[in-house]
Structure 1
Amino acid sequence: MSGLPAWSEPRTAIVTGSGSGIGLATGMRLAAEGAAVAVWDIDGDSAKAAAAQITEAGGTAVGLAVDVADRSRIDEALAEVRSLLGPATILVNNAGISPFKRFLDISAEDFARVMAVNLAGTFHCCQAVAPDMIAAGWGRIVNISSSSAQTGNTRQAHYAASKAGVIGLSRSLAQELGPKGITVNIVPPSFIDTPALRGSAEAGFLGSGVESHVQSTPVRRVGRPEDIASACVYLARDEAGFITGQVVGVNGGRVIV
């Protein structure tokens, strides 16, 4: 990271799905850089606990229960953020679900739910927050995709499709919003040690477990939420203003495209 201040003026950030894992690490880093952080999570208790953790570390944060598949709740929560912290000009779309199911067993309802959270949720959050960024003449959007969007993944056709959609959406927004001073970039993590990953391992979806994948990772370790947070925060800084529409792989070399 540069020794320069992250932003030339105070910034408010919204991080979705930030009650734990990558989202929490990103909220912590943004707050450490000086941003006021709105922690959005479908689990309101987790959101409040994460906001308290950020506050205890010396940052400014508020935790709100938000289901990103519910546009009306997104709009309500955004109004709360404006009132409590000011207009948001940084958005990290991290909320998502990553179920496993054989392709022929995926129901229409399964597919629709994954799309509603992972792709439509990202769309709605971007669309809701963009007007405040346009008004400010400055904005940073970082959308969390997945390496599965780039490679595919067995028993995750619906998940991979939703995350591939996030890449297409983000690149289109980068072109449309760039003239307004807003950058839009994508970070597709791969094998990050989060509660969700551990849950998948316990369910038997990761073969011999998390650690068994270290040897297939060039840097010879499992990723940490902080690895993704570092990339997200850099892309949100003032100095990253010439980076937009990019897929920034943070995957320890597991995926090279």
Structure 2
Amino acid sequence: MNESLTSDSACGAVQGKRIVVVGGAGAIGKAIVNLLTLEGAAVVIADYNAGAARTVVEKLTDAGRIASSVALDISDEGSVRRAFEETSTQLGGLDVLVNSAGVINERPFTELTLSQWNEVVDLNLTGVFLCCREAIPLLRREGGGRIINIASQVGQRGRERLTHYAAAKAGVIGLTKALARELAPEGILVNAVAPGPIDTPFSATLSAETLAATAGELPLRRAGVPEEVAPSVLLLASEPGGNLYVGQTLGPNSGDVML
């Protein structure tokens, strides 16, 4: 995190909001958690890597922020259910869900095995479905709320050797739009954030050819960092800033996709 955890000049854009960040111990998720807690939210990190989640929580609480964690395997329906029950207990309710968990790996399409396809789709798309399904009753109890799904510009434009990832992230965008239409009348606003190339440990696993081709196509001529994604999430989670966003996909993508 570039933002110092000792700098607690909270502006309060989400002051008092109760938020769960799924995948909050990952690079982008951690930046999101840092900004949301800086802006006054109480955040639960739901993550498969329980040790990493606890480390983030310790740093945040030492800085006077409100944060805790729960263990979550988004590929396991029972684990998702238990995690949201525990989250609701810890927070005393829920106002915002941020789905930031996922995985990426590179394969030529004809070399993809069914298990490789299923892993990427399960963790990037089915996990979002499961988390949304558990969160919606909690948001309904509060009379409304926000769901923010982290998608990817790959789901909008496609990318060779990432067909399984592109399909899953395009599915997240489609799910976001359909769910937004279904839930907006109840005051639950559903949106997505589709980052472009971001410097994370995941991106470091991509081939040099893919990274070079991607960087060369960016009008900004550079990838982003996780801290440049988090403000889009903050906007969508905040009031009144996010009040009119319904079914939208915000694109902090260095100009890779222009809509």
Q: If the length of structure 2 is used for normalisation, what is the TM-score?
A: 0.90
CA distance in 2, matches of 1:147, 1:31: 26
3-state SS of paired residue (2:68):
strand
d(CA) in 1 for partners of 2:120 and 2:28?
19
Query: Which residue number corresponds to residue 25 of structure 2?
Result: 19
Shifted more, 107-116 versus 160-169: the winner is 107-116
Q: What is the CA-CA distance between 1:81 and the residue it aligns to? A: 1.4
Q: Distance in 2 between matches of 1:33 and 1:169?
A: 28
TM-score, with normalisation over the residues of structure 1? 0.91
Tell me, in whole angstroms, the C-alpha distance in 2 between the residues paired with 1:206 and 1:179. 46
Q: More displaced, 221-230 or 163-172?
A: 221-230
Q: Deviations over 1:218-253 (max 9, x none)?
A: 233320101110100110001111111001111111
SS for the counterpart of 1:40 is strand
The aligned residue for residue 140 of structure 2 is 134
| Aligned equivalent of 1:167 | 173
Residue deviations 1:140-198 (CA, integer Å, cap 9, x gap): 11101111111111111111000000011000110011011111111111111111112
Runs of 4+ in 1 over 4 A off after TM superposition: 212-215
Q: Is the 8 A contact 1:227 1:250 kept in 2?
A: yes
User: What stretches of structure 2 of length at least 5 have no aligned partner?
Assistant: 1-9
Match of 1:249 in 2: 251
State the distance in 2 between where 1:127 and 1:178 align.
15
The one-letter amino acid paired with 2:186 is: K
In structure 1, runs of 5+ residues without a counterpart are: none
Hey, what's the Cα distance between the residues in 1 that align with 2:150 and 2:57? 20
Q: Residue type of the partner of 1:249?
A: G
2:238 alignment counterpart: 237
Q: Which moved more, 1:39-48 or 1:158-167?
A: 39-48
Aligned partners of 1:89 and 1:129 also within 8 Å: no
Taking only aligned residues, the RMSD between alpha carbons, in angstroms, comes to 1.8
CA contact (8 A) 1:185 1:246 kept: yes
Alignment of 1:56-71 (within 5 A): 56-71=62-77
Say which is worse superposed, 125-134 or 217-226, in terms of deviation. 217-226
- C-alpha spacing 1:181/1:101, structure 2 compared with 1 (3 Å): same
- Aligned pair in 2 of structure 1 residues 150, 127: CA closer, same or farther (>3 Å)? same
Match of 1:80? 86
Aligned to 1:32: 38
Whether contact under 8 Å (1:122, 1:143) holds in the other structure is yes
Secondary structure at 1:226 match in 2: helix
- Once the two structures are aligned, what percentage of the paired residues are identical? 36
Report the residue type matching 1:20 in the other structure: G
Native 8 Å contact 1:50 1:63 kept in 2: no
Q: Secondary structure at the match of 2:249?
A: coil
Letter of the 2:218 counterpart = T
- Superposed CA offset, 1:112-150 (max 9, x none): 111111111001101100111111112111101111111
Which residue matches 1:187?
A: 193
1:218 is aligned to 2:219: yes
Separation of aligned partners in 1, 2:228 and 2:105: 23
Letter in 1 for 2:159: N
1:49 aligns to 2:39 (yes or no): no
Deviations for 1:9-68, whole angstroms, at most 9, x for unmatched residues?
722111111113100000111111111111111111111111112222321111222111
Please state whether the residue corresponding to 2:155 is helix, strand or coil: helix
Count residues in correspondence: 249
Matches within 5 A, 1:89-100: 89-100=95-106
